[in-house]
Amino acid sequence: MKNSFLLLLLFISFYSCKKEEVATTQEVKIIQPELRFGYKIDDYKVIQDTIRKGESFGIILDRHHVYYPKINKIASSIKEVFDVRRVRAGKPYTILASKDSTEKAQVFIYKHDKINATIIDFKDSVIVAKPFQKKIKTVLKSVKGVINSSLSVSMDSLHLSPNLTYTIADIYAWTLDFYKLQKGDSFKFMYEEKFINDTVFAGYGDVKSAVFNHNGSNLYAFRFVADSISGIPEYYDENGNMLRSQFLKSPIKFQYRISSRYNLKRRIAHYGYRVKAHRGTDFAARNGTPIMATANGTVTESTRKRGNGNYVAVSHNAIYTTKYLHMSKRKVKVGDFVKQGDVIGYVGSTGSSSGNHVCYRFWKNGREVDPLSPKTKLPEAEPLKKSVKPAYLAFIAPLKYELENETLPVLDQEIIKNTD
């Protein structure tokens, strides 16, 4: 009996020790240091601020106890990577300063946007500047809508950013006249949204595919890289024809209306309702709306004349010339080379004009023509090469299915890619 009692005491003592040992082990916690931009934040005093108007890189560092001989050395050392003269008011920045009494800046982080930054590290003798990109999650989404009045109103009703509206307008700038959209036309497109830490919205990515149903016809757009060497993506229709062509449909993005078309027998109130040929197309828009060059070319005129008001002429080649009349302000000068989509001036009502608009005039082989008429044949971009087309058709097959069907779940397809 006595032996049994001793054995019981030994068992209880052993079990208690093991339990205490387990409890002690469970209480041990390993605290990982907090890292931001690749630095252990606890090692520094962290200062976050925004560049104010009139501030320069030098002024900011001087305020944080880095003096001008060192500032000049930093600027010259990193100029190939980052030009400190280009810091802009309104941009946020972070300074990592020493924790001692001097609180001297050791690292300057300039934030270009929510995702991208440039890190300038000058705490050691070797000064380093390097780009930094936060990890982002890209989510594929789809959206569809119906036109009731205009594209922008329909997109606003879906709570989508104007930036996405502009992207869609740019994709269809060569093939769709947004003034001709009708009530009941519909659209659907698939696009990317970017997030930091899974929840913080960081902007839009690519529009992968889109379709506009206009006048009963589907106008498709698929993003595809046809040339692996250049790596430049373009948008093509379902047959492999490039949407981009030599001339845009309009010199204004999409927030306009055509107030007067090309008409050789038009009667004009400004001239007492007598017949006076109107050899241009009037795009009415708000004063100050940007006017774009509809194709690449060289500015041959940028001046003001009585009837034309402020205007710009662009020669595109030996065959085509365009003019843009009644500007409030011109942005280019004679001899400038402009690319398609470049802003060359702003809508106004100068010269013989009764309201804010741009009169867009178009010459082909020295003769004014109507660029919106189906009779006017304009040059188109080359279609896909025959050798590439089979791969393209295979690539767009699932995208086209997703645009045409409701059964395939396309909303919120998570994590297409993560980038550092």
Q: Hey, what domains does the chain have and what are their CATH numbers?
A: 35-133 (3.10.450.350), 137-244+382-419 (3.10.450.350), 257-369 (2.70.70.10)
pLDDT at position 272: 57
pLDDT at position 76: 95
CA distances from 400 to 163, 357, 403 (A): 24, 38, 5
CB 293 within 8 A of CB 340: yes
pLDDT class of 358 with cuts at 50, 70, 90: very high
Burial of 39 (0-12, 13-18, 19+ CB in 10 A): buried
pLDDT class of 235 with cuts at 50, 70, 90: very high
Q: Assess whether pLDDT exceeds 90 at residue 117.
A: yes
DSSP 354: S
Q: Assess whether pLDDT exceeds 80 at residue 408.
A: no
Please state the pTM of the whole predicted model: 0.67
pLDDT at position 176: 84
CA distance 293 to 253: 11
pLDDT digits 0-9 by tens, 120-155 = 999 998 999 999 998 889 999 999 999 988 888 888
Cα–Cα nearest to 309, from 345, 339, 260: 345
- Residue by residue, what is the 3-state secondary structure of 274-318? EECCECEEEEECCCCCEEECCCCEEEEEEEEECCCEEEEEEECCC
Residue 221 exposure: Cα atoms within 13 Å on the Cβ side:
27
Percent of the chain with pLDDT over 90: 52
DSSP 420: -
Alpha helices (H) along 51-122: 57-63, 68-78
Q: What is the mean pLDDT of residues 378-396?
A: 88
CA distances from 102 to 42, 64, 65, 265 (A): 17, 9, 8, 80
CA distance 264 to 280: 10
Residue count (the chain) = 420
DSSP 216: T
Burial of 66 (0-12, 13-18, 19+ CB in 10 A): buried
pLDDT class of 407 with cuts at 50, 70, 90: very low
pLDDT digits 0-9 by tens, 250-309 = 999 876 778 777 666 555 555 555 556 678 889 999 999 999 999 999 999 999 998 899
pLDDT class of 374 with cuts at 50, 70, 90: confident
pLDDT digits 0-9 by tens, 310-348 = 999 999 988 999 999 999 999 999 999 999 999 999 999
DSSP 85: G
CB 362 within 8 A of CB 369: yes
Q: What integer best gives the mean pLDDT of the chain?
A: 85
- Please give the backbone phi and psi of residue 43, each rounded to the nearest 5 degrees, phi first: -85, -5
Other CB atoms within 10 A of residue 208 CB: 21
Cα–Cα nearest to 254, from 144, 177, 325: 177
pLDDT class of 181 with cuts at 50, 70, 90: confident
Place of tokens 């010459």: 363
Torsion of CA 196, 197, 200, 206, to 10 degrees: 40
DSSP 302: E
CA distance 194 to 115: 9
pLDDT digits 0-9 by tens, 32-41 = 677 889 899 9
CA distances from 328 to 253, 286, 287, 325 (A): 17, 11, 7, 9
Cα–Cα nearest to 203, from 254, 166, 235: 166
- Cα end-to-end distance, the chain, whole Å: 71
CA 235 to chain centre: 16
CB 135 within 8 A of CB 418: yes
DSSP 52: P
What is the largest distance, in Å, between two alpha-carbon atoms of the chain?
A: 130
Q: Assess whether pLDDT exceeds 60 at residue 21.
A: no
